[in-house]
Amino acid sequence: MFVNRQGNKLTRFGVRYLLKKHIGAGARATRTLQEKRIHRHSLRHTTAIFLLKAGADFATISQWLGHSSLNTTITYARADIDLKRQALMQVFPEILAPPRAGHVSSTTINIVDWLKRL
Protein backbone atom coordinates (compact mmCIF):
# COMPACT_ATOMS: atom_id res chain seq x y z
CA MET A 1 0.00 0.00 0.00
CA PHE A 2 2.85 2.40 0.83
CA VAL A 3 6.13 2.51 -1.02
CA ASN A 4 9.52 4.03 -0.35
CA ARG A 5 11.38 6.31 -2.75
CA GLN A 6 12.74 3.29 -4.64
CA GLY A 7 9.19 2.07 -5.24
CA ASN A 8 9.59 -0.90 -2.88
CA LYS A 9 7.33 -1.83 0.02
CA LEU A 10 7.71 0.62 2.91
CA THR A 11 9.26 -1.30 5.80
CA ARG A 12 8.73 -0.73 9.50
CA PHE A 13 12.14 0.95 9.56
CA GLY A 14 11.00 3.31 6.82
CA VAL A 15 7.85 4.12 8.78
CA ARG A 16 9.96 4.77 11.89
CA TYR A 17 12.28 7.06 9.91
CA LEU A 18 9.43 9.06 8.36
CA LEU A 19 7.56 9.32 11.65
CA LYS A 20 10.67 10.54 13.48
CA LYS A 21 11.42 13.03 10.70
CA HIS A 22 7.93 14.53 10.65
CA ILE A 23 7.49 14.54 14.42
CA GLY A 24 10.78 16.43 14.68
CA ALA A 25 9.55 19.02 12.19
CA GLY A 26 6.20 19.28 13.95
CA ALA A 27 7.82 19.60 17.38
CA ARG A 28 9.78 22.63 16.21
CA ALA A 29 6.51 24.30 15.21
CA THR A 30 4.39 23.03 18.13
CA ARG A 31 6.17 22.87 21.47
CA THR A 32 3.63 20.54 23.10
CA LEU A 33 4.55 17.87 20.57
CA GLN A 34 8.03 17.72 22.09
CA GLU A 35 6.54 16.23 25.27
CA LYS A 36 4.55 13.53 23.45
CA ARG A 37 5.76 9.98 22.97
CA ILE A 38 4.58 9.02 19.51
CA HIS A 39 5.61 5.77 17.87
CA ARG A 40 4.50 3.51 15.04
CA HIS A 41 1.93 1.76 17.18
CA SER A 42 0.33 5.14 17.93
CA LEU A 43 -0.63 5.34 14.26
CA ARG A 44 -2.24 1.88 14.35
CA HIS A 45 -4.13 2.66 17.56
CA THR A 46 -5.35 6.04 16.29
CA THR A 47 -6.47 4.51 13.00
CA ALA A 48 -8.40 1.79 14.80
CA ILE A 49 -10.16 4.31 17.06
CA PHE A 50 -11.16 6.51 14.12
CA LEU A 51 -12.44 3.48 12.19
CA LEU A 52 -14.52 2.44 15.21
CA LYS A 53 -15.95 5.94 15.57
CA ALA A 54 -16.77 5.95 11.85
CA GLY A 55 -18.84 2.81 12.35
CA ALA A 56 -16.52 0.13 10.94
CA ASP A 57 -17.11 -3.27 12.51
CA PHE A 58 -14.50 -5.09 14.60
CA ALA A 59 -13.95 -7.84 12.04
CA THR A 60 -13.05 -5.36 9.30
CA ILE A 61 -10.70 -3.42 11.57
CA SER A 62 -9.12 -6.64 12.80
CA GLN A 63 -8.38 -7.77 9.25
CA TRP A 64 -7.14 -4.33 8.21
CA LEU A 65 -4.71 -4.16 11.13
CA GLY A 66 -3.63 -7.77 10.67
CA HIS A 67 -4.71 -8.93 14.12
CA SER A 68 -4.75 -12.67 14.60
CA SER A 69 -7.69 -12.45 17.02
CA LEU A 70 -10.81 -10.32 17.20
CA ASN A 71 -10.15 -9.93 20.95
CA THR A 72 -7.04 -7.89 20.15
CA THR A 73 -9.15 -5.42 18.19
CA ILE A 74 -11.83 -5.22 20.88
CA THR A 75 -9.25 -3.79 23.30
CA TYR A 76 -9.34 -0.56 21.26
CA ALA A 77 -12.98 -0.08 22.17
CA ARG A 78 -12.17 -0.42 25.85
CA ALA A 79 -9.66 2.41 25.58
CA ASP A 80 -11.95 5.03 24.05
CA ILE A 81 -14.06 7.09 26.43
CA ASP A 82 -16.10 8.62 23.59
CA LEU A 83 -17.34 5.19 22.51
CA LYS A 84 -18.33 4.44 26.11
CA ARG A 85 -20.20 7.73 26.35
CA GLN A 86 -22.05 7.02 23.07
CA ALA A 87 -23.12 3.61 24.34
CA LEU A 88 -24.41 5.08 27.60
CA MET A 89 -26.21 7.88 25.74
CA GLN A 90 -28.19 5.26 23.81
CA VAL A 91 -29.35 3.60 27.03
CA PHE A 92 -29.65 6.61 29.38
CA PRO A 93 -30.05 9.74 27.21
CA GLU A 94 -31.72 11.78 29.97
CA ILE A 95 -28.91 11.16 32.48
CA LEU A 96 -25.97 11.99 30.24
CA ALA A 97 -27.56 14.76 28.19
CA PRO A 98 -25.70 18.06 28.52
CA PRO A 99 -27.57 20.66 30.57
CA ARG A 100 -29.48 23.31 28.65
CA ALA A 101 -27.94 26.76 28.80
CA GLY A 102 -29.31 28.78 31.71
CA HIS A 103 -31.25 25.83 33.12
CA VAL A 104 -30.33 24.20 36.39
CA SER A 105 -32.11 20.98 37.18
CA SER A 106 -33.92 20.94 40.51
CA THR A 107 -33.47 17.20 40.81
CA THR A 108 -30.09 16.08 41.99
CA ILE A 109 -28.80 12.82 40.60
CA ASN A 110 -26.79 10.64 42.93
CA ILE A 111 -24.18 9.31 40.53
CA VAL A 112 -23.15 6.46 42.85
CA ASP A 113 -26.72 5.15 43.04
CA TRP A 114 -27.09 5.52 39.29
CA LEU A 115 -23.89 3.54 38.67
CA LYS A 116 -25.00 0.80 41.07
CA ARG A 117 -28.17 0.37 38.98
CA LEU A 118 -26.05 -0.37 35.91
pLDDT digit of tens for each residue in the chain (118 aa)?
Answer: 678 889 999 898 998 899 889 888 988 888 888 888 888 888 888 888 888 888 888 888 888 888 888 888 877 767 667 777 777 777 777 665 665 555 545 455 667 776 666 6
Q: What is the pTM of this model?
A: 0.52
The answer to whether residue 81 is domain-embedded is yes
- Considering its fold, how many domains does the chain have in total? 2
Specify whether 15 is located in the same domain as 50.
no
The answer to whether residue 109 is domain-embedded is no
Specify whether 27 is located in the same domain as 64.
no
Contact by Cβ (8 Å): 61, 69: no
Specify whether 2 is located in the same domain as 22.
yes
Specify whether 51 is located in the same domain as 93.
yes
Specify whether 67 is located in the same domain as 92.
yes
Domain that holds residue 4: 1-38
* Angle, helices 40-53/58-65, rounded to nearest 10 degrees: 160
User: Which residues have a Cβ under 8 Å from the Cβ of 23 and sit 6 or more positions away?
Assistant: 33, 36, 38
